[in-house]
Amino acid sequence: MKAILIKEPHKIEVTDIEMEQLKSEKDVLIKVKAGGICGSDMHGYHGTSPFINYPVVPGHEFAGLVTKVGEAVKNIKVGDHVSVDPVISCGECYACKSGRYNVCSDLKVRGVHVDGGFKEYVSIPEKACYKINENIPWEVACLVEPFTIASQSLSRGGINKNDIVFIAGAGAIGLTILLTAKSEGATVIISDISDAKLERAKAIGADYTINSLNTSLEAFIEAHEAIEGITLALDAVGHPSIIESILPSMLPTGRVVLLGFLKAPSNLIQMEVTKKELDIKGSRLSCNKFSVVVDCIEQGLFNPKKIISHTFDYTKVEEAIDLLVNRPDECCKVILNFETEV
């Protein structure tokens, strides 16, 4: 069977590997139908992820058709459409025992720490598979995972319909947060340094956009009388200056959720946090959010298709990567279609 393989940084190809077999009686065998390319796949490609041992099959956003089930599988049958939670947790550590397996001390993510889903067939434990209605297109089914990231971050931030939400970053993650926050009824302001990305954000429902190269969040609020301040902010960029610039605009009792993964320190002002009793929280991957997101998609509460900018046949993965590297402004979510038989 075919698989996409990152052999070493900057070397990605479609190659033949041994046919995947069911790895356990608790597993199901999935014929992969579609996958989304994510920032962490790009880190794998660029060699900037500390977690990857090469060669690796990338891909943690994927969905497919169940073609075989192990003897101990109870709730999934051949023919089901499933999307896969890529998180692998130990079940034993403090976080796992507290029910927060997404921050397991021995966390592994498919497509990062171990081989992912960008191959024709993949064997996955039943408990990581979530059934999705067969009338949902594959390119949408494979986007359940990125929307779980949005759902996790907004639930960490305790979103409600009265929130004035600020999102830093109008890339794919920022836009999944935008669509989810709008489905909750909140007002959403989103910032980026790319006008093209901001236009896309506006087109899919942002109430306000800010190009942070020429307008600060504080100046924006000053100029908009209807907006008293921010009640929930999400940083989908991770540059240390962002949290510094957000805090003065937060209203008392506001929540700030960080999704960044940079090591650079930040000079945040303690007094801003204390005097307004702000909550600052991290959000990583997702915990028990797959069923929530599948429900939202099946009910049509938001349309993941809105974040798709390009679709490539998986055999053209090099072209897809090329586009993401050289014309990032034109890209939002790039989908790989695995439906063609090679």
* Residues at the site binding Zn ion, with contacts judged by CB under 5 A: 38, 89-90, 93, 96, 104
Distance in Å, CB of 121 to Zn ion, minimum: 21
CB 163 within 8 A of CB 188: no
Distance in Å, CB of 203 to Zn ion, minimum: 22
Distance in Å, CB of 88 to Zn ion, minimum: 10
Query: Toward Zn ion, which CB reaches closer, 95 or 256?
Result: 95
Query: Toward Zn ion, which CB reaches closer, 82 or 104?
Result: 104
SS3 content of the chain, % helix, strand, coil (to 5): 30, 30, 40
Find where tokens 């954000």 sit. 201
Strand ranges, E, within 177-331: 187-192, 208-211, 230-235, 250-258, 279-282, 308-313
* Helix or strand (DSSP H, E) at 274: helix 270-275
Two tokens at 3?
A: 């698989």
Beta strand pairing call for 27-37 and 129-131: unpaired
CB 30 within 8 A of CB 122: yes
Distance in Å, CB of 341 to Zn ion, minimum: 27
Distance in Å, CB of 325 to Zn ion, minimum: 17
Query: Toward Zn ion, which CB reaches closer, 87 or 227?
Result: 87
CB 60 within 8 A of CB 86: yes
Distance in Å, CB of 93 to Zn ion, minimum: 3
Give the integer Cα–Cα distance in Å for 290 and 129: 9
Helix (H, G, I), strand (E, B) or coil at 244: helix
Query: Toward Zn ion, which CB reaches closer, 5 or 38?
Result: 38
* Residue among 69, 47, 67, 68 at smallest CA distance from 58: 47
Q: Any idea what the Cα angle at residue 286 is, between residues 278 and 312, rounded to 5°? A: 120
Query: Toward Zn ion, which CB reaches closer, 96 or 230?
Result: 96
Tell me how crowded residue 23 is: count the other CB atoms within 10 A of its CB: 13
Distance in Å, CB of 323 to Zn ion, minimum: 17
Query: Toward Zn ion, which CB reaches closer, 41 or 163?
Result: 41
Query: Toward Zn ion, which CB reaches closer, 43 or 255?
Result: 43
Distance in Å, CB of 51 to Zn ion, minimum: 14
Give the integer Cα–Cα distance in Å for 245 and 240: 9
Two tokens at 76?
A: 């999934």
CB 172 within 8 A of CB 146: yes
Query: Toward Zn ion, which CB reaches closer, 37 or 186?
Result: 37
